[in-house]
Structure 1
Amino acid sequence: MAATLCLKLLPKQGWLPLTQSVRHGSKAVTRHRRPMHILKQKLLAVTRYIPPKHVIPPGAYPTQTKQVQEDSPLKLLMTRNLNKVFQDCKMIAVVQNNACKAEDMILLKHKLHKHGISVKFFPNQVVRPFLKDSIYSNMTPLFIGPTVMFVSKEPKVKEMLSTLRGAPQMTLIGACIENTLLSAQGLVSYSKLPSVTSVHGELVSGLTMLTSHTASLLQRHPAHLSALLQQYVKQQSSEDAPEGAPKAEEAT
Structure 2
Amino acid sequence: MDRASKEELVAELRQSFTSAGVVVVTHYRGLTVAESTQLRIGMREVGASFKVTKNTLARLALQGTAFEGIIPLFNGPTAIAVSSDPVAAAKATMKFAKTNEKLVVLGGGIIGQTLDANGIKALADLPSLDELRGKLIGVLQAPASRIVGVLQAPGGQLARVLKAYAEKDQAA
1:13-162 mapped onto 2 (5 Å cutoff):
72-155=3-86, 156=88, 157-162=90-95
Count of aligned positions: 139
- Tell me which protein shows more helix as a share of its residues: 2
Tell me, in whole angstroms, the C-alpha distance in 1 between the residues paired with 2:41 and 2:65. 31
1:133 positional shift? 4.2
Larger RCO, structure (CA 8 Å, separation 6 or more): 2
Tell me, in whole angstroms, the C-alpha distance in 2 between the residues paired with 1:203 and 1:175. 32
Q: 1:190-242: CA deviations, max 9, x gaps?
A: 23334432563477479x69xx9xxxxxxxxxxxxxxxxxxxxxxxxxxxxxx
Tell me, in whole angstroms, the C-alpha distance in 2 between the residues paired with 1:95 and 1:108. 12
1:164 positional shift? 2.3
Gapped regions of structure 1 (runs ≥ 5): 1-70, 213-252
Contact 2:17/2:65 (8 A) holds in 1: no
Tell me, in whole angstroms, the C-alpha distance in 1 between the residues paired with 2:138 and 2:75. 42
> Which one is further off, 73-82 or 148-157?
148-157
- Tell me which protein shows more strand as a share of its residues: 2
Gapped regions of structure 2 (runs ≥ 5): 148-172
- What letter matches 2:53 in structure 1? F
> Which one of 105, 130, 133 corresponds to residue 197 of structure 1?
133
Contact 1:112/1:118 (8 A) holds in 2: yes
Contact 1:96/1:146 (8 A) holds in 2: yes
User: With structure 1 as the length reference, what TM-score do the two structures score?
Assistant: 0.48
SS in 1 for 2:99: coil
Contact 1:112/1:163 (8 A) holds in 2: no
SS in 2 for 1:159: helix
Q: Which has the larger radius of gyration?
A: 1
Tell me, in whole angstroms, the C-alpha distance in 1 between the residues paired with 2:72 and 2:92. 25
1:72 positional shift? 1.0
- What letter matches 2:125 in structure 1? K
SS in 2 for 1:165: helix
> 1:179 aligns to what?
112
Q: Cα RMSD over matched residues?
A: 2.6
Q: 1:197 to 1:133 in 2, by over 3 A?
A: closer
1:111 positional shift? 2.5
- What letter matches 1:144 in structure 2? N
Q: 1:203 to 1:105 in 2, by over 3 A?
A: same
Q: 1:198 to 1:97 in 2, by over 3 A?
A: same
Runs of 4+ aligned residues of structure 1 deviating over 6 Å after TM superposition are: none
